Amino acid sequence: DGGITQSPKYLFRKEGQNVTLSCEQNLNHDAMYWYRQDPGQGLRLIYYSQIVNDFQKGDIAEGYSVSREKKESFPLTVTSAQKNPTAFYLCASSIWTGGGYTFGSGTRLTVV
């Protein structure tokens, strides 16, 4: 079955630590995206990548970093510079920019 997998489902981070969220897809999609969702709110774009080895900042990139070394993988690192990282993080992919997105099931990050 083709799909997009996010791991872990739940993640706890101590203040001052960096953590990396995994996102893997086997849909052969070129474009991949990271969004952040806070309770009762919509999605805000953190980073996106249209092609391997290239990525662009979204609206709230500060305190986050990404890499796109393989087409299938687009990990997101939440750095200690992100002041309010507790949120639900969603990864998505699409066959072309502007097509329908396929979403992963999300990672809930909590700072303890």
Give residues in contact with other proteins (CB under 8 A): 6, 33, 35, 40-45, 48, 50, 56, 58-59, 88, 90, 92, 97-106, 108
Q: Which amino acid is at 9?
A: K
The two beta strands, 76-78 and 64-66, are antiparallel
- Give the nearer residue to other proteins in terms of CB position, either 85 or 104: 104
- DSSP letter at 15 equals T
Q: Which residues of 99-111 are buried (b: 16+ CB within 10 A; e: fewer)?
A: eebbebebbebeb
Residue nearer to other proteins on the CB measure, 51 or 81: 51
**CB of 83 vs other proteins, minimal distance in Å:** 20
- Closest CB 65 distance from other proteins, rounded Å: 18
Residue with tokens 């070129």: 30
Least Å from the CB of residue 51 to other proteins: 11
Residue 10 or 14: which CB sits closer to other proteins?
10
Q: How many residues does the chain have?
A: 112
3-state secondary structure of 93: strand
Name the minimum Å distance from CB 8 to other proteins. Answer: 14
